[in-house]
């Protein structure tokens, strides 16, 4: 288990997602109301890129077919049982780090 540096704070603008490769995972990192959130990048429906989805409050909408996920919990508020993984993320000294089990 380890913290992996995924970029600088400036790489993650407010209200937008960014795709990051972190070990074996591709994740989507979002900044919402000054806080960072990291979730699995690929929508479980058909693999749509969640980092390119529209962020509405704390809900990201997949650009392919409209499935949505709460970036705080990874759960879909509208599709029962649908979810994506979440990852701890933090800022330190101008850099952004994601916690990966097994080092990613």
The CATH number of domain 2-103, selected from 3.90.550.10, 2.102.10.10, 3.20.20.150, 3.40.630.30: 2.102.10.10
pLDDT, tens only, 22-54 = 878 899 999 999 999 999 999 999 999 999 999
Are 86 and 39 in contact by the 8 Å Cβ rule? The answer is yes
Residue 104 pLDDT > 70: no
Predicted TM-score (pTM) of this structure = 0.92
Sign of CA dihedral 7, 11, 17, 21: negative
């Amino acid at each position: 288990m380890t913290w992996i540096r995924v970029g600088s704070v400036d790489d993650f603008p407010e209200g937008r997602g960014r795709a990051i490769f972190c070990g074996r995972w591709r994740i989507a990192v979002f900044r919402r109301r000054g806080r960072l959130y990291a979730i699995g990048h690929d929508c479980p429906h058909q693999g749509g890129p969640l980092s390119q989805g529209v962020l509405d409050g704390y809900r990201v909408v997949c650009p392919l077919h409209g499935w949505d996920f709460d970036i705080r919990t990874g759960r879909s508020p509208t599709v029962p049982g649908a979810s994506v993984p979440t990852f701890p993320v933090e800022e330190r000294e101008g850099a952004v780090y994601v916690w990966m089990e097994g080092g990613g």
